[in-house]
Amino acid sequence: MKKKRIVVKIGSSSLTNTKGEIDHTKLQDHIGALATLKHEGHDVLLVSSGAVAAGFRKLGYPSRPVTLKGRQAAAAVGQSLLIQYYSESFHEHQITAAQILLTRTDFSKKERFKNAYATFMELLQRNVLPIINENDTVSVTELTFGDNDMLSALVSGLVHADHLIILTDINGFYNDNPFTNPNATRIHYLNEITDDMLTFATDGGSKVGTGGMQSKLLAARTALQAGVQVFIGNGKGPTKLIDILNGLGDGTYIGKDDSAILANQKQWLSITEVSGKLFIDKGAEKAIILNGKSLLPAGVYKIEGEFSKGDVVEVYGESKLLGRGEVLYSSNELLQALGKRTTEIDATATEVIHRDKWVKA
Q: Pick out the residues of the known binding site.
A: 9, 49, 136, 148, 168-169, 210-216
Q: What is the 8-class DSSP label of residue 293?
A: P
On the 0-12 / 13-18 / 19+ scale of CB atoms within 10 A, 283 is exposed
- SS3 of 27, please? helix
Q: What is the DSSP string of 239-250?
A: THHHHHHTT--E
Encode 227-248: b = buried (16+ Cβ within 10 Å), e = exposed: bbbbbbbbbeeebbbbebbeee
Q: What is the DSSP string of 175-196?
A: SS-TTT-TT--EE-EES---HH
CA distance 6 to 2: 12
CA distance 215 to 223: 12
CA distance 240 to 242: 5
Q: Tell which residue, 113, 58, 67, 94, has the closest CA to residue 263.
A: 113
Which positions make up the binding site for ATP?
9, 168-169, 210-216
Query: Is the Cα dihedral 60, 66, 69, 75 positive or negative?
Result: positive
Which positions make up the binding site for substrate?
49, 136, 148
Check if the beta carbon of residue 270 is closer than 8 Å to that of residue 359.
yes
In the chain, the amino acid numbered 23 is D
